[in-house]
Amino acid sequence: MKNRVFCAALILVIFPVLDASYREALPGYRYEFPRDFFAHPDFQTEWWYTTGNVKTSNGHAFGYELTFFRQAVNRKKSKHSSWDVKDLYLAHLAVSDIGGGHFYHSERINRAGPGISGASSQAGKVWNGNWSASWNGDGSQQLAAQNDDFQFIFTLKGEKPPVIHGENGVSQKAEGAGRASHYFSQTRLTTTGTLQLKGKNYAVSGLSWMDHEFFTHQLSPEQVGWDWFSIQLEDKTELMLFILRRKDGTIDPFSAGTYVDANGKSTHLRVADFSLQPQGTVWKSPVTGVVYPIEWSVSVPKLKLSFVAKTKLLEQEISGRTKLAPSYWEGAMEFSGARANETIRGAGYLEMTGYDRALQMD
């Protein structure tokens, strides 16, 4: 799943009708790499989403996210000019200064134009202005982005091969053929680089997580939002878990997850295999008034895993700046608990959508 919230909501207000000429995410898709790192123009919606937790040698911690989003507008439109709009490209950038107690974020939207934004296998990168994710010949990635408050350049190296989520090539999100996405992640990316914040430079290292998802349809009208976790544990295993919330307050049966063992082998998790439960700690946004549960219990009985998810920085909300875009919370998290009788810890990200109003993507 993932962020995609500001971008998806804005686009679906401007272009609410999904074009039937686009390809649906159906079972049997065969992934190929590096091909699938880049654009899939046959699908109407696509995003690349990287989050990470990094720190300095003296322990000053940061979270970050860099999202690129492609939304097809008119597949059939003949191209007369480089300024014609066949796709819109959006991007979202954020840094959580955990050590300093501040959250910074910005968004942008562009057409492809004469090289302003795009996703190119020939160039080996996805970009929007001077924000970019580039894939190198050795398989590593470089992220680069800047705004008025901060900038960073990170090098990401995968410890494991890409992980395919779902079953038979699709991550099903609702009842019906095509209400799904093709979805894969790089769940453990060793990260090094430099972050400059308010004029001060920090050499940092840590771990990142990259999601890539492409589809044409996805959610149903009964689904109002989701809670999504990426979890990187210290024993070199990872979890992706999401629950889809319905209008009647129940959890949708298409909620799911993936467990990745230390060797990179993945196991699909159905909703009955795990539990995500909000605990008593909540945070009310002083900007929007929206209340978010920011402490959770996480349990995967079949893996003998149970832990609590908390954050040291409560204010990690992306507030909707217009009535077109909903507000949502997305931020760096810490996890502590046990596997069987052994203590276990980790870090990751949590995204919570649909707490201010229902998020509809179809």
Give the per-residue pLDDT at 81.
61
> Rounded to an integer, what distance in angstroms lies between the CA atom of residue 347 and that of residue 175?
32
Question: What are the DSSP calls for 202-226, one per residue?
Answer: EEEEEEEEEEEEEESB---TTEEEE
> Rounded to an integer, what distance in angstroms lies between the CA atom of residue 238 and that of residue 210?
12
Q: What is the mean pLDDT of residues 330-350?
A: 97
Burial class (CB in 10 A: 0-12, 13-18, 19+), 35: exposed
The pLDDT tens digits of the residues spanning 225-260 come to: 999 999 999 999 999 999 999 999 999 999 999 999
When pLDDT is cut at 50, 70 and 90, the band that residue 356 belongs to is: confident
Please name the residues in contact with 132: beta carbons below 8 A apart, sequence gap of 6 or more: 125, 126, 142, 143, 144, 145
Sequence-separated contacts (24+) of 298-303 with Cβ below 8 Å? 298/229, 298/231, 298/239, 298/241, 298/274, 298/335, 298/337, 299/274, 299/275, 300/239, 300/257, 300/259, 300/269, 300/273, 300/274, 300/275, 301/273, 301/274, 302/273, 303/259, 303/339
Residue boundaries of the structural domains of the chain: 5-16+32-352
> Rounded to an integer, what distance in angstroms lies between the CA atom of residue 350 and that of residue 311?
9
The pLDDT tens digits of the residues spanning 28-66 come to: 999 999 999 999 999 999 999 999 999 999 999 999 999
The pLDDT tens digits of the residues spanning 159-180 come to: 999 999 999 999 999 999 999 9
Question: Which is more confident, 359 or 136?
Answer: 136
Give the per-residue pLDDT at 280.
85
Q: Is the pLDDT of residue 144 over 70?
A: yes
Give the per-residue pLDDT at 284.
96
> Rounded to an integer, what distance in angstroms lies between the CA atom of residue 179 and that of residue 26?
8
Nearest CA to 192 out of 140, 132, 242 is that of 140
SS3 175: coil
The pLDDT tens digits of the residues spanning 65-89 come to: 999 999 988 766 555 666 677 889 9
Q: Is the pLDDT of residue 361 over 90?
A: no
Q: Is the pLDDT of residue 12 over 90?
A: no
Question: Which is more confident, 184 or 2?
Answer: 184
In CATH, what number does 5-16+32-352 get?
A: 2.40.370.10
When pLDDT is cut at 50, 70 and 90, the band that residue 326 belongs to is: confident
Nearest CA to 206 out of 163, 155, 240 is that of 155
